[in-house]
């Protein structure tokens, strides 16, 4: 690459003209920026926006989040997945509350529960203007291509090298703009497949484009295998309530969430015709209770349960209950 300052200027100029208008880009409140960064981990921007706006309306400050019931925080998060993020967010809000204000240094932000190197650098640079480079998946892809680097970007030593490279390229006077620009370039132009090099502000400095390797990079080893699982969930209904069970605190995932039962939990129950099907992607001490159909909007429900209840609602809109003989209903989930 040619001069670092030419790179910084071209990148930031492009960003200022082309950046997407996202709600967390309209604030410098560290709490709101931190919330957006936690929500954006493993989750697409379009999916995060309504959650972010709803969450901030309900919990506009760390103080409100710190004193909320965990069940309410989880229900505000329901559907975003990776629920440990919500639990850590609340733990961190309580620590912030105890400290009296949001931490202002990289190390103090990094020490909050659920905050790793990337999030600490993002919040430190965007909210406080501190010179810490970020390295998310988008930034790593851009850097690997700029340097025509064919190493496995998932390998820890390569990750460390890319982090050091990002730090070397960082515009220390404008770290917030630089970091956001590098990630935005990866998200909108330097795409994983078929990068839009003709629209790239730093194409002249890109060694992969020069070498013709830009479509083969970056190299990523150890891709996670996908497993397909078929599940059946059962809707047992008593007037305006349905039977649900709650995951215990010792469960490996979705602790404290309410779910529809599966047939093996209800020995002796005969299943009726399937109500419907849906697909859901996801990366035991149980107790049951009747949950009113109105109440289930206020308790944390897993995504599969919400989808199954949506199938029930659609079916009942077409065929209201109470007309004709009682029916057993079930929903097939995969």
| Contact set with ligand SF4 (CB under 6 A) | 142, 145-146, 189-190, 195, 197, 200, 202-203, 206, 208-209, 214
Alpha-carbon distance of 110 to 196, in angstroms, equals 35
Closest among 19, 20, 79 to 52, alpha carbons compared: 79
Nearer to ligand SF4 (CB atom), residue 146 or residue 309: 146
Q: Which helix (H) or strand (E) holds 292?
A: strand 286-292
Alpha-carbon distance of 200 to 194, in angstroms, equals 12
| Alpha carbon separation from 312 to 233, 237, 241, 242 (Å, rounded) | 12, 11, 12, 11
Alpha-carbon distance of 144 to 206, in angstroms, equals 10
Number of Cβ within a 10 Å radius of residue 86:
24
Q: Is-catalytic flag, 168?
A: no
Smallest gap from Cβ 206 to ligand SF4, in A, equals 3
Smallest gap from Cβ 180 to ligand SF4, in A, equals 16
Sheet holding 274-278, edge to edge: 231-235, 329-333, 274-278
Tokens of 80: 């975003």
Q: Which of 37, 72, 277, 316 is catalytic?
A: 37
Rounded to 5°, angle at Cα 14 from 13 and 19: 115
Q: Which residues are catalytic?
A: 37
């Amino acid at each position: 690459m040619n001069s670092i300052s030419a790179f910084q200027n071209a990148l930031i100029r492009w960003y200022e003209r082309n950046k997407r208008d996202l709600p967390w880009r309209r604030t410098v409140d560290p709490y709101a920026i931190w919330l957006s960064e936690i929500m954006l981990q493993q989750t697409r921007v379009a999916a995060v926006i309504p959650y972010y706006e709803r969450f901030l309306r309900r919990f506009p400050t760390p103080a409100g989040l710190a004193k909320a019931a965990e069940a309410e925080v989880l229900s505000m998060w329901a559907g975003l997945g990776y629920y440990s993020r919500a639990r850590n967010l609340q733990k961190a809000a309580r620590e912030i509350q105890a400290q009296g204000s949001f931490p202002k240094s990289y190390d103090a932000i990094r020490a909050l529960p659920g905050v790793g190197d990337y999030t600490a650098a993002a919040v430190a640079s965007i909210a406080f203007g501190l010179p810490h480079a970020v390295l998310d998946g988008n930034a790593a892809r851009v850097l690997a291509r700029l340097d025509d680097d064919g190493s496995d970007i998932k390998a820890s030593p390569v990750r460390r090298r890319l982090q050091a490279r990002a730090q070397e390229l960082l515009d220390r006077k404008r770290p917030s703009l630089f970091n956001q620009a590098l990630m935005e370039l990866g998200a909108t132009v330097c795409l994983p497949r078929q990068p839009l090099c003709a629209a790239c502000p730093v194409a002249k400095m890109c060694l992969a484009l020069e070498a013709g390797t830009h479509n083969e990079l970056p190299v990523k080893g150890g891709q996670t295998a996908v497993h397909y699982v078929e599940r059946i969930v059962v809707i047992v209904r008593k007037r305006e309530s349905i039977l649900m069970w709650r995951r215990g605190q010792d469960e490996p995932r979705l602790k404290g969430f309410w779910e529809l039962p599966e047939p093996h939990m209800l020995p002796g129950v005969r299943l009726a015709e399937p109500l419907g099907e849906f697909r859901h992607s996801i990366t035991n001490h149980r107790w049951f209770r009747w949950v009113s159909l109105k109440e289930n909007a206020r308790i944390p429900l897993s995504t599969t349960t919400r989808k199954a209840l949506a199938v029930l609602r659609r079916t009942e809109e077409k065929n209201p209950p109470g007309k004709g003989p009682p029916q057993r209903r079930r929903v097939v989930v995969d």
